[in-house]
Amino acid sequence: MLYDTTDRAYLDGVSGIAVTNLGHGHPRVTKAITDQAKRLVHTSNLFHIGLQEAVAEQLRAITGMENMFFCNSGAEANEAAIKLARRFGHQKGVETPKIIVLDGAFHGRTIGALSATGNQKIRQGFGPLLEGFVRVPPNDLTAIDALGETLNGVVAVLVEPILGEAGIRPLDTDYLQGLRSLCTKHQWLLIFDEVQTGNGRCGSAYVFEQMAVEPDVLLTAKGLGNGLPIGVCMARGVAAEQLGPGDHGSTYGGNPLCCAAAQAVLTTLTEENVMSQANHIRDALLTALHGHLADPTLVTEVRGRGLMIGIQPTTATDQIVQRGLDRGLLLNIAGGDTIRVLPPLVMSLEQAGEMGAGIAQILNEIAQQEDRA
């Protein structure tokens, strides 16, 4: 729940854009942050940071990745991966390395991450952007294979397994498995941007586990600190050998305070098994949604996994956020016309039902209004 300045309560279906996956004021995370704030907040990476090593060890055990670079955001995790991929190319004698990215993808707003981003509206007005990105449509393996045969200098493929900002659009599992084979065949790095899909949001620590596809580089941020700024670029195999001490850096990255939060988040996700709630909450929300729609054709499709839910309505979407606020529900629109619902893993099934029913009632009202117009 969130409360406004008049103490009005809101059921949070946004989670700070997929960040507070364990809700607001989670006791274990709050205790870790307050205890650590009293001890030591920051030292810089000139010194060993035990908590950073402990979080790296937790991530290694969960993901199988070998080396970790800690930073402060999703965009910075993507920047690290872009540098890593370019370095990998240079080591192989590729002078102008290229990274394949997807139409509609979102990787962040710093210049490198923005150059990898496919959304024209977000890129517009900030040129010149970086060279070295080749864009292809999602879920089209032949387009990528063709590039492998004709284009020199490809070193990596960077994808979000579920395109979040584009409106919760999952890549097909077959496609991701095909990508894995193509990357192995052409000796490209497969980079998964799990900034939004990660940290329990989709019902597993990282969504790649559900797709049986192992990336070479794995990026995350958002939910890792449950609100404290932390990002990480993880690598395995040859990808883990590309960046050594001094090659890349961040003053704040992985500082003791943010790592204390991340440690508490990962411990909670793995020990308390809250992740298994994701699909129960999803089911309760969607059952209530469908049960309360006046007309089933008001929703054409529901996409995503776990608590990354994209609802595609046939009504206009411009009033949905405000109507949600009026009902005490926090909702969000992504990709222009998709209702993006990102509830926390700690939402009760009753609350999930309330949210699903509320969304249905909003759509019913808008449909009625549109019919009258």
Ligand X SMILES: Cc1ncc(COP(=O)(O)O)c(C=O)c1O
- Residues with catalytic annotation? 106, 193, 222
Q: Contacting ligand X (CB under 6 A), which of 108, 215, 304, 324?
A: 108
Q: How far apart are CA 355 and CA 225, in angstroms?
A: 25
- Burial class from Cβ neighbours inside 10 Å (0-12, 13-18, 19+) for residue 69 reads buried
Under the binding rule (CB under 6 A), the answer on residue 254 touching ligand X is: no
Min dist. Cβ of residue 164 to ligand X (A): 4
Q: Contacting ligand X (CB under 6 A), which of 49, 70, 74, 206?
A: 74
- Binding range to ligand X, per CB under 6 A, among 61-69, 71-79, 288-296, 315-323: 71-79
Measured from the Cβ of residue 152, the count of other Cβ atoms closer than 10 Å reads: 8
x/- map, 271-310, ligand X, by CB under 6 A: ----------------------------------------
* Location of structure tokens 């395109």: 163
Under the binding rule (CB under 6 A), the answer on residue 165 touching ligand X is: yes
Answer yes or no: are the C-beta atoms of 284 and 356 closer than 8 Å.
yes
Min dist. Cβ of residue 107 to ligand X (A): 5
Residue nearest to ligand X (CB): 74
Under the binding rule (CB under 6 A), the answer on residue 216 touching ligand X is: no
Instruction: Using alpha carbons, select from 330, 332, 319, 329 the residue that is nearest to residue 363.
Output: 319
- R_g over Cα of the chain: 21
Q: Could you give the C-alpha distances from 145 to 101, 127, 138, 140, 226, in angstroms and in order?
A: 13, 29, 13, 9, 38
Answer yes or no: are the C-beta atoms of 140 and 173 closer than 8 Å.
no
Under the binding rule (CB under 6 A), the answer on residue 344 touching ligand X is: no
- Binding range to ligand X, per CB under 6 A, among 158-166, 181-189, 206-214, 284-292: 158-166
Our CB check for ligand X shows the closer of 289 and 309 to be: 309
Answer yes or no: are the C-beta atoms of 218 and 208 closer than 8 Å.
yes
Q: Contacting ligand X (CB under 6 A), which of 221, 281, 284, 366?
A: 221
Under the binding rule (CB under 6 A), the answer on residue 75 touching ligand X is: yes
Under the binding rule (CB under 6 A), the answer on residue 195 touching ligand X is: yes
Q: How far apart are CA 102 and CA 89, in angstroms?
A: 20
Min dist. Cβ of residue 222 to ligand X (A): 6
For 35-49, letters b (16+ CB in 10 Å) and e give ebeeeeeeeebeeeb
Q: Could you give the C-alpha distances from 220 to 1, 17, 47, 369, in angstroms and in order?
A: 25, 14, 23, 41
Under the binding rule (CB under 6 A), the answer on residue 193 touching ligand X is: yes
- Binding range to ligand X, per CB under 6 A, among 92-100, 106-114, 294-302, 342-350: 106-114
Under the binding rule (CB under 6 A), the answer on residue 107 touching ligand X is: yes
Number of residues that bind ligand X (CB under 6 A): 15
Min dist. Cβ of residue 217 to ligand X (A): 13
Under the binding rule (CB under 6 A), the answer on residue 160 touching ligand X is: yes
Q: Could you give the C-alpha distances from 156 to 64, 81, 294, in angstroms and in order?
A: 20, 10, 47
* Location of structure tokens 């939004």: 196
Query: How would DSSP label each residue in 119-147?
Result: -HHHHTTS-S--S-EEEE-TT-HHHHHHH
Min dist. Cβ of residue 247 to ligand X (A): 21
Our CB check for ligand X shows the closer of 262 and 360 to be: 262
Our CB check for ligand X shows the closer of 108 and 306 to be: 108
Q: Binding residues for ligand X, per CB under 6 A? A: 17, 73-75, 78, 106-108, 160, 164-165, 193, 195-196, 221
